[in-house]
Amino acid sequence: MMAQKVDVAKREAESNANRLGYMALIAGWLVPGAGHLMLKRWGRGLLVLGSITCMFVLGIMMGAKLYAPNAADLLDMLGFLGDLGSGLLYLISHAMGLGQAPVQIVTADYGAKFVVVAGLLNLISAVDAHSIAIGRKP
Amino acid sequence: MSLAPSHFTSVILFAIFASIIFGITQRSTPRAMVRYGAYCFVLFLVAVIAASWLMYFIRH
């Protein structure tokens, strides 16, 4: 009877950790650093928020092209997936019509890489928040 | 508002932000994070300077 109760409590705790892990993953993807902030890792969360946001904004200011889904071009699709990693930053910028001008100067090409890499780094950070939430990382 | 930094400034900015994220995500303790972040930053810069010299010698 006692063992059964312990088993149920253990399963419940695992289920809660899993739920928290997925919430941290999704929050971290949507808003850079939100996954870490949710888990009260304030320093890491603020650094991730600052770094990813600065990288994304600098990219846009450099004249980056924001990729849109284009099944006809594999490179465009890869760029789109990278951009999408920034979550709301990408969705809002795309909705505001930013990054639609053609790339004309070399720094604009760098800007496009800044935006794609910001998205990829944000995905790494979101996975890191998930790992912390489920106890895989301290 | 637009921004047109030089190539080297772009590399430094890129290296700073990427190194911060690498440090935070790839190590567990604050001390190890700082060390790994600094290590990545230096590697970025050394790789860029080495590649630049390589391209210079190919061109000349």
Structural domain span for residue B12: 7-59
- Answer yes or no: is A3 within a domain: no
A58 and B24 within 8 Å at the Cβ level: the answer is no
Number of domains present in the structure of chain A: 1
ipTM: 0.91
pLDDT of residue B39: 98
For chain B, the C-alpha Rg in angstroms (whole number) is 14
Alpha-helix runs per DSSP H in chain A: 2-30, 34-38, 42-61, 74-84, 88-95, 106-133
Give residue-wise pLDDT tens across range A39-74: 999 999 999 999 999 999 999 999 898 998 887 888
Low-confidence ranges of chain A (pLDDT < 50): none
8 Å CB contact of A44 and B1: no
Residue with tokens 């071009």: A73
Which chain B residues are closer than 8 Å to A107 by Cβ? 3-5, 10
Q: Which region, left, alpha or beta, applies to residue A26 given φ > 0 means left and ψ of -120 to 50 means alpha?
A: alpha
- pLDDT given for residue A1 in this prediction: 66
Supply A132's token pair.
């912390």
Half-sphere exposure of A56 (CA within 13 A, CB side): 28
Q: Does residue B35 fall inside a structural domain?
A: yes
pTM, rounded to two decimals = 0.91
Q: How many domains does chain B have?
A: 1
Q: Mean pLDDT, to the nearest integer, of B5-20?
A: 94
Q: Residue A39's domain spans which residues?
A: 11-133
Q: What is the structure's pLDDT at A6? A: 76
Which residues of chain B are within 8 Å of residue A57 when distances are taken between CB atoms? none
Tell me whether residues B21 and A48 touch, CB distance under 8 A: yes
Which residues does chain A have within 8 Å of residue B4's beta carbon, measured at their own beta carbons?
A: 62, 105, 107
Write down the pLDDT at residue B60: 86
